Structure 1
């Protein structure tokens, strides 16, 4: 009995420990939407487009499984009739099977397997394209939230200007027009807050749809943007990675291999295949059952079918080779463009942060203080406030441009940078 209670106590302690661990794990789990990694994982598991691409690959694999199988056998029943009573008529039941020769079956399988590889490449390309869309949408989601924060700071500054204008007017040092101007700036900030709120909801809806969730599903606020690599990548390195890992390029390579194999198969259409058959022979005189056997070869004749097949296969091979070259050049060109835009965005953000932003903030504080002390006019303060707001927005836009180009580069090279 004592041992029984000891076991029960140990079991209860274990259960409590597991419950506490699960509770702590749930509390430390990052909510969906907080980081881009969680959204990427959700998209890869929930996206209907990715599931469709996976089913296309499954269908290609199923076709490859039967690519090298023999055609269905044929059963025939032939009746031979003789008018001569000394020669007995009879039925011949024949089962025949065609056997492709010269490695045709293996070539069919090779071509089908190349089709599977091409489908896998397209599936991976669909995933990379979805990843890029999620990364860009997340950057817009995060940018809009930060834009809202900046606009609320601007609204606070507008309230300060209104208070200063009202105080100055009350002391007889200003005019009513300045107070109305300050109120107009405050109203403009409120209207911008409404617009940005709508943009934020739209960005959230787009993210939800991209990961296969209802558009109005709850989504956590973004807590951090994806980091931009500190070291600027070299174009040569990016091109090399794209040639090795870009899934669209891999799919194009596999398509080219399938076309090459089918071209070889078309050349072998001029080589005969063999058909073998056999079966029982039933005579009408009730004699013992005999046996009949047959062997045959198909005769490729120059009526145009084989030659047309060769021409078609050669044209398809040439087309696949040209598509591969076009895809390769397009990828390399897109990499060069995205890298140039990434460099420009990084340089723009650095310059804005290092020079334009401190200058604008210092100018605004100086003008606002002077106006509060009765020096200067409100028009100058409003102008400097708008310049400050513009610099803040340009910084955010430069950061968005960096995220967009980073996502494009990662799609083109087939992996994270």
Structure 2
């Protein structure tokens, strides 16, 4: 019987040694197949030895494979996020809107331009000219002076609109950063999943000539050969789907960076800080809170939910945007209330008459609010209603933020629990099942179908492990977007 030490997840430094000990290489396997094919007298034990050796190698390489995320360093991600901040069109548009809002502060607090007047009064029609003593040439200037306090309220509203626009730009920036990280993590998943598919398909493809030779020698069944071919074709189909998914994800990432869809990105991987927060390197380091179903993993790196919620309520840019919009609308409501107070039109005119004394005219005009009910009252009511709507919307946004933080926190803990179960139980047991099926097949106590089924089960678990890890990373990116800072270090 073949015997081997089953590798378990351990420190990152042991990964390369584990891979060297167990990772299969394509060349020796092909050479062995040719040697085997040339000798139809191969015994059942030699065939089984090859199959079990290949599958045990798969066990070892999958154990090392599960550790690659924990030791990966992803500096390209930071550069991609920085590039998106500088190049993303949505961010540029949001910044331009902020600049536009800032440019409106000055006009909001400025008085209306003065009016220059020039004319002739009492000009005779029958005998045109300026000799008539009633004819007067006039020049003057007029200025509208808003009632004190109106301009300051308009300026305050414009200033708060700038703050709201800045917060809105921050919302856009954080959303783009989250989308970049999410696309990058999806790219990492497709890379790791393709690794699993390629490795598993290589192992199964290497079994085909061996199984065919055994069938030709009368030691196997045609069903074994067909089953291998079906599994290999199925993996090819999954690999093709992953390749297309990778192209789509790459196009989405490049769109966020405002560059051609097929611009390549270096091999993506989950950053170390996220991998360490998601799951321990070794099952021995994992402890559950209790033996009850659904118990969480101990030693969570995530801050408590109430601390995260309090931090989000202080720093979330969407809430800051709402607060600035409320302040701006409050200033507009006060400005609308002051519309009951009249503006003043002041004019000063100088008149010149031939042969007579020059004259100066001063006029002060005040509007009469005859349309108070239809105009000022309606505008004041509209401003108050809009203010009430914004305040209610802010309360709703706070409640939704609390719910989102709780949802994201719970999702992260759920993913941590699932990953811990994979590392502590599911993957080791799947590898042990594969080793047992291989040993049973070698000694004649097991069948080929069980061997292939356990290999397929291990493949599915490895893929789901990486899918769950990717979900954890994407959920963490969303949580950090809401909070505005890194949640785990």
Distance in 2 (alpha carbons) for counterparts of 1:390 and 1:353 = 14
Q: CA deviation at 1:304?
A: 2.2
Say whether 1:322 aligns with 2:396.
Answer: no
Q: Is the 8 A contact 1:35 1:224 kept in 2?
A: no
Normalised TM-score (structure 1): 0.86
Distance in 2 between residues matched to 1:195 and 1:380, nearest whole Å: 26
Structure 1 runs (4+) deviating above 6 angstroms are none
Displacement of 1:87: 5.6
Contact 1:139 1:225 in 2 (8 A): no
Structure 1, 209-218 or 168-177: larger mean CA deviation: 168-177
Alignment of 1:134-153 (within 5 A): 134-153=180-199
8 Å Cα contact 2:185-2:269 kept in structure 1: no
2:345 is matched with: 275
Kindly state the Cα deviation for residue 182 of structure 1 after the two structures are TM-superposed. 1.3
CA contact (8 A) 2:270 2:473 kept: no
Contact 1:164 1:371 in 2 (8 A): no
Q: Once the 2 structures are TM-superposed, how far is the Cα of residue 82 of structure 1 from its aligned partner?
A: 8.8
Q: 2:80 aligns with which of 21, 26, 39?
A: 39
1:212 maps to which residue? 258
Residues 142, 225 of structure 1: 8 Å contact kept: no
CA contact (8 A) 2:351 2:358 kept: yes
Contact 1:165 1:178 in 2 (8 A): yes
1:128 partnered with 2:174: yes
- Alignment TM-score, normalising by the size of structure 2: 0.74
Distance in 1 of aligned mates of 2:133 and 2:373:
41
Residue number among 138, 141, 144 corresponding to 1:92 in the alignment: 138
How far did residue 386 of structure 1 move?
A: 1.5
The structural deviation recorded for 1:79 is 4.1
Tell me if the contact between 1:81 and 1:89 (Cα under 8 Å) persists in the aligned partners.
yes
Of 95, 112, 127, the match for 2:158: 112
Structure 1 residues not aligned, in runs of 5+ = 1-32
**CA separation in 2, counterparts of 1:162 and 1:74?**
95
Q: How does 1:131-210 map to 2 (within 5 A)?
A: 131-210=177-256
- How far the C-alpha of 1:155 sits from its partner, in A, is 1.2
Aligned residues: 383
CA contact (8 A) 2:133 2:356 kept: no
**Are 1:379 and 2:425 matched, yes or no?**
no
CA contact (8 A) 1:70 1:98 kept: yes
Q: How far off its partner does 1:273 sit?
A: 2.1
Q: CA deviation at 1:267?
A: 1.2
Structure 2 segments unaligned to the other structure (5+ residues): 1-73, 125-130, 278-299
Counterparts of 1:402 and 1:268, CA distance in 2 = 54
Task: Indicate the RMSD between aligned Cα atoms, in angstroms.
Answer: 2.1
